[in-house]
Amino acid sequence: MDDLAEVEAAEEGLTKQIRNALEAEDAERLNALLDPLPYSEALREVLTLSADERDRLLNLVPTELAAELIEEAPNEMAVDLVERMEPERAADVLEELDSDVQADVIGEMDEEDAEAILSEMDEDEAADVRRLAAYEDGTAGGLMMSEVFRFPDRATVGAVLRMVASDDADFDRYRGQHPYVTDPDGRPVGVVSLRSLLTAKRSAALTSIMIEPLTVTVDTTLEVLEDIFDEHPFLGVPVVDEAGILVGVVSRTAVSDAVLERSESESLKRQGVVGDELRSMPLWLRSRRRLAWLSANIVLNVIAASVISAYEETLAAVIALAVFLPMVSDMSGCSGNQAVGVTMRELSLGLVRPVDAFRVWLKEISVGVINGIALGILIGIVAWLWKGNPALGLVIGLALALNTMLAVSIGGVVPLLLKRVGQDPAAASGPLLTTITDMAGFFLVLSLATLMMPWLLR
Amino acid sequence: MDDLAEVEAAEEGLTKQIRNALEAEDAERLNALLDPLPYSEALREVLTLSADERDRLLNLVPTELAAELIEEAPNEMAVDLVERMEPERAADVLEELDSDVQADVIGEMDEEDAEAILSEMDEDEAADVRRLAAYEDGTAGGLMMSEVFRFPDRATVGAVLRMVASDDADFDRYRGQHPYVTDPDGRPVGVVSLRSLLTAKRSAALTSIMIEPLTVTVDTTLEVLEDIFDEHPFLGVPVVDEAGILVGVVSRTAVSDAVLERSESESLKRQGVVGDELRSMPLWLRSRRRLAWLSANIVLNVIAASVISAYEETLAAVIALAVFLPMVSDMSGCSGNQAVGVTMRELSLGLVRPVDAFRVWLKEISVGVINGIALGILIGIVAWLWKGNPALGLVIGLALALNTMLAVSIGGVVPLLLKRVGQDPAAASGPLLTTITDMAGFFLVLSLATLMMPWLLR
């Protein structure tokens, strides 16, 4: 705890120093405070400030630091931060970033804001960004950068070496790329390995040492790109458009970042958080987004509760049932959620596809039968001993057993069916599952109790 | 649907062909069927087989293909597949893999199985694996590979170029690494950039062109490694032991894979799936693991339900309350889970730390007040209109409003507190949250109803 208190004190000191420097409009001091921190810590400090202070800070610090903060921020936050800058400043900051990051930020903006910034940018660069921003997220076009380490097919090894040896700032943007060779139409015809580059004569033609490149098209999906980088040690893959012209390179890093982002956004959606919420966003936005999801959920809850309402007479006769209704629905919901979790994981690993629904169901129902019986016996004994009524134990136990089997069946299969009909399994599986298992749980408990009424009242 | 049916038919054909080849013990045919597939698809095909068929297949196919399948499989599955091989075969297959993957697999095995395999391996390689397997997961030691592209400090540029140009199979294992220079004690003293390598004379000493390397120690955490790769374009970072001796290299890919794995395992834990469940695992194991989590949950559910039990008289007097009890607890649970989701995300982005609990609570309670009031009014009106009782509407609405505020407070802060006391926030936040919001929800509805009884019965 002492350590934590110390960290806390040191941090408060830092935040205060940043505030003071901001108050004094001391750009140098701000840079000296923020630049040595890892980007994630610098961003955390910036997000601790009020929105207004944030805006002033991003306008004051050097464009390189502002660009690093924008790049580190999750995309929606980055868009917000850039939109709030003056277009001229925003253009300067964006020009520090790679084209794929530029396109991600510009692509999410209101068209008006985007155009205001683009018109301040270098014309060629703006054209590049416009082109990249038009590609779909999650495709090679949406992930690629337009900076390509390319050479015409008449170039020699020496030309490449001169480029590497030069202090041309652009070379840093090609980091990790191998030289690609293009024909006069711009089609990629070869790629040169480091090994052959190091061992060839300087006067040798690139065409004499190049090998045929593996290429993807602008609409190649993230899944296919994952497979390619899994199987090959490449750091980047060249991307061609419909006409076969080389238009960009997708890097291994861009693909693994996109996979991580997809996984985290799915995980959030499963918790009912739609969009990219961070607590530094405006209150009304956070509140409205969460409410939208909750309001849909309330409707589903009312539908489920109407089952209870239909059996009020049974409930009135055996009030102890009310104690177990939430338990049965909650426990089945948990079992079903486990099944959803495993299916989502197998989907993301590529181990199941929508066509495997039946096979998945067979695997799930086996677990469901075992766990249903085990949990049913457990809760049945609890109900019996607690309320001293064996018939109550039988009703509750049987209801939980059956509802567990139903829940794992639905939980295992629903994500696959949603995917099959083109819906998002991460966002919709949970609410769908819970509504069905709630309704079925209430119905099973109350209808079994109605059937068993003579024994329950004995 | 027609497309899907076609895929299905083609796939069934493939599975059948694999089974036939396996029956005929036709290793060449198996290789011809599986090798052209992306690894994830090949693995999916293998996992479709029974455990016994899987074992036979992995023994029949070439070691390279078996090694690729092992590498593609999630770790727990890989361990299981290797454990079931004959030690001699297992050693051959493992020797195809990089040392970091070897250590991940061997490190998770029973000691006896591990030793049986290690004793069949090349002695040096076995010693390497033993050393690597001893480091903790999620540290540089646990993530590094021992294959290092290293040169003594008396080496020349020419020595590096000869190594690159040679057909030495080991060179492939260094992919992406820059040459590291070590002193006679094995301490890293420099790293050589590609640019200077290409432009220096062959006779130049490496020490004359090297720059000081950034190094990490074996116990550097994943979080710090993430920051380093975020900030530098390096493909790998050299790792030193306590004595400052160079012992391995952590690659960018190993770090991004580990981050993805952590994110996915957290997301699974939040759904109540502990461990690395895949449906190809044995039924009893899957069932037992899920049950362990569910049984703990049933205890928490009984605790929450005891609140209802304490108010059976109130319930008996106003049976309509039973309709709304699950709604209030479920809706608050959802609100709380949204807060958990956002906190977990901010934790993984490094934007909040345990010391920020109070700041997080302030942000959450603001959303909680708005959403609590909105949802309370909504459900209050539903209850009033449905049951024709304005007092019932007031009780339910007020209970949901208060419980929503409580739920977001707990949901936002609990992951931070769990982390502060060294517990795993992903696994424990959900059940803890649900139990508290269930209890509080039941208590609020039933105690408010008891207070308002005269108006409820009017």
DSSP secondary structure string, B140-177?
HHHH-BS---EEETT-BHHHHHHHHHS--GGGGGGTTP
- Work out whether strand B246-251 and strand B236-240 pair parallel, antiparallel, or are unpaired: antiparallel
Cβ atoms within 10 Å, residue A41: 18
CA distance B173 to A205: 29
Cβ atoms within 10 Å, residue A11: 17
Reading chain B (458 residues) residue by residue, the pLDDT tens digits are: 445 556 656 666 888 999 999 999 999 999 999 999 998 889 999 988 988 999 999 999 999 999 999 999 988 889 999 999 999 999 999 999 988 899 999 998 988 999 999 999 999 889 999 999 999 988 999 999 988 989 999 999 988 888 877 766 566 667 668 889 999 999 999 999 877 887 788 899 999 999 999 999 999 999 999 999 988 888 899 999 999 999 999 999 899 999 998 888 888 888 888 777 888 888 998 999 999 999 988 999 999 999 999 999 999 999 999 999 999 999 999 999 999 999 998 988 888 889 899 999 999 999 999 999 999 999 999 999 999 999 999 999 999 999 999 999 999 999 999 999 988 888 889 889 999 999 999 999 999 999 999 999 87
Chain length of chain B = 458
> Would you call A267 and B272 a contact, using CB atoms and an 8 Å cutoff?
no
List the structure tokens of B319.
């049976």
List the structure tokens of A371.
């766990």
DSSP at B231: H
CA distance B352 to A37: 15
Cβ atoms within 10 Å, residue A200: 20
CA nearest B275 in A: which residue? A342
B409 interface with A at CB cutoff 8 Å: no
| Best CA proximity match to B153, nearest among B69, B216, B226, B246 | B246
CA nearest A311 in B: which residue? B323
DSSP at A356: G
| Best CA proximity match to B236, nearest among B214, B204, B258, B260 | B214
Ranges of H-type helices in B39-121: 39-48, 51-60, 63-72, 75-83, 87-94, 99-107, 111-118
Q: Name, in order, each residue with C-beta under 8 angstroms of B112's C-beta and a sequence gap of 6 or more.
A: none
> Would you call A348 and B315 a contact, using CB atoms and an 8 Å cutoff?
no
Residues in chain A within 8 Å Cβ distance of B335: 290, 294
Residue listed under structure tokens 């309402």: A309
**Distance (Å) from the C-alpha of residue B365 to the closest C-alpha of chain A?**
11
Residue A6 has pLDDT above 70, yes or no: no
| Best CA proximity match to A101, nearest among A124, A122, A78, A126 | A78
**Distance (Å) from the C-alpha of residue B112 to the closest C-alpha of chain A?**
30
Identify residue B294 by its one-letter amino acid code. Answer: L
CA distance A305 to A442: 8
**Distance (Å) from the C-alpha of residue A112 to the closest C-alpha of chain B?**
30
Residue A1: pLDDT band (50, 70, 90) is very low
CB burial readout A371-380, b (16+ within 10 A) else e: bbebbbebbb
Percent with pLDDT over 70 in chain A = 95
Q: Name, in order, each residue with C-beta under 8 angstroms of A274's C-beta and a sequence gap of 6 or more.
A: A268, A289, A292, A293, A427
Q: Do B256 and B239 touch, CB atoms closer than 8 A?
A: no
CA distance B404 to B408: 6
Angle at A133 between CA A128 and CA A138, to 5 degrees: 125
Residue listed under structure tokens 């079992």: A335
| Best CA proximity match to A101, nearest among A218, A221, A253 | A253
How many CB pairs lie under 8 A apart between chains A and B? 328
> Would you call A235 and B176 a contact, using CB atoms and an 8 Å cutoff?
yes
Which SS3 state, helix, strand or coil, does residue A389 take? coil
DSSP at A171: G
CA nearest A330 in B: which residue? B301
> Would you call B270 and A268 a contact, using CB atoms and an 8 Å cutoff?
no
Residue A10 has pLDDT above 80, yes or no: no
List the structure tokens of B6.
């076609």
Q: Do B98 and B169 touch, CB atoms closer than 8 A?
A: no
- The pLDDT value recorded for residue B172 is 65
**Listing from the earlier edge strand, what are the strands of the sheet with A236-240?**
A216-217, A236-240, A246-251
Angle at A393 between CA A388 and CA A394, to 5 degrees: 140
Ranges of H-type helices in B232-356: 252-270, 283-310, 312-317, 321-348
- The pLDDT value recorded for residue B89 is 95
Q: Do A249 and A239 touch, CB atoms closer than 8 A?
A: yes
| Best CA proximity match to A367, nearest among B40, B272, B408 | B272
**Distance (Å) from the C-alpha of residue B44 to the closest C-alpha of chain A?**
5
CA distance B394 to B445: 10
Q: Name, in order, each residue with C-beta under 8 angstroms of A407's C-beta and a sequence gap of 6 or more.
A: A332, A333, A335, A336, A339, A368, A433, A437, A440
What are the beta bridge partners of residue B152?
Answer: B182
Chain A, window 130-149: residues with a beta carbon less than 8 angstroms from a chain B beta carbon:
none
B268 interface with A at CB cutoff 8 Å: yes
Ranges of H-type helices in A220-282: 222-231, 252-270
CA distance A409 to A367: 10
| Best CA proximity match to B144, nearest among B247, B214, B75, B227 | B247
- The pLDDT value recorded for residue A4 is 56
Report the greatest alpha carbon distance in chain A.
Answer: 101
C-alpha B200: how far from chain center = 44
**Distance (Å) from the C-alpha of residue A257 to the closest C-alpha of chain B?**
8
DSSP at B85: S
Q: What are the angstrom distances between the C-alpha of A361 and each of A401, A409, A416, B105?
A: 17, 6, 10, 30
CA distance B389 to A451: 30
> Would you call A326 and B327 a contact, using CB atoms and an 8 Å cutoff?
no
**Distance (Å) from the C-alpha of residue B240 to the closest C-alpha of chain A?**
21
Chain length of chain A = 458
Per-residue pLDDT, averaged over A113-134, amounts to: 92
A281 interface with B at CB cutoff 8 Å: no
Cβ atoms within 10 Å, residue B1: 6
Identify residue A426 by its one-letter amino acid code. Answer: A
Q: Do B237 and B216 touch, CB atoms closer than 8 A?
A: yes
> Would you call B267 and A272 a contact, using CB atoms and an 8 Å cutoff?
no
B346 interface with A at CB cutoff 8 Å: yes
- The pLDDT value recorded for residue B1 is 43
Q: Which of A4, A267, A355 is nearest residue B4 as measured by Cβ atoms?
A: A355
* B217 membership: H or E segment, kind and range: strand B216-217
**Listing from the earlier edge strand, what are the strands of the sheet with B246-251?**
B216-217, B236-240, B246-251
Q: What are the angstrom distances between the C-alpha of A223 and each of A246, B40, B93, B196?
A: 21, 10, 27, 37
CA distance B65 to B32: 11
CA distance B67 to B96: 6
Q: Residue B429 half-sphere exposure, CB side, CA atoms within 13 Å?
A: 35
> Would you call B279 and A363 a contact, using CB atoms and an 8 Å cutoff?
yes
List the structure tokens of B365.
């309670």
Q: Which of A230, A273, A319 is nearest residue B39 as measured by Cβ atoms?
A: A230
List the structure tokens of B383.
């209850």
Sort A67 into a burial class: Cβ within 10 Å, 0-12 / 13-18 / 19+. buried
List the structure tokens of B398.
């007020």
Q: Which of A47, A319, A363 is nearest residue B316 as measured by Cβ atoms?
A: A319
Q: Please, what are the domains in chain A?
A: 2-140 (1.25.60.10), 150-270 (3.10.580.10), 283-456 (1.10.357.20)
